[in-house]
Amino acid sequence: MYNNRVIADWLSHMYELLVGYMHNDDLSALMNGPVRKKLGIIPSHVTWGGTLCRHLPPPLVAGFC
């Protein structure tokens, strides 16, 4: 069986590969500013970026959140 470190390393790699590159300041500013305003349906408590770590169990996100 895999230990927690192996799983955390794999999750970190997959996060960076599939999602991490999208979480830069310019994109976050765009999504949380003009896009939010234009759509007009995004609740104020929802923001672009940084939500993954709040929804996964702490052992899975240790080391990359």
In sign, the C-alpha dihedral spanning 27, 38, 34, 29 is: negative
Burial 4-17 (b: 16+ CB within 10 A, else e): eeeebeebbeebee
pLDDT at site 32: 85
Q: What is the mean pLDDT of each run of 10 residues along the chain (65 residues)?
A: 79 80 69 89 79 62 58
pLDDT at site 49: 66
Q: What total number of domains does the chain contain?
A: 1
Whole-structure pTM over 0.75, yes or no?
A: no
Range of the domain at 23: 4-61
pLDDT at site 39: 92
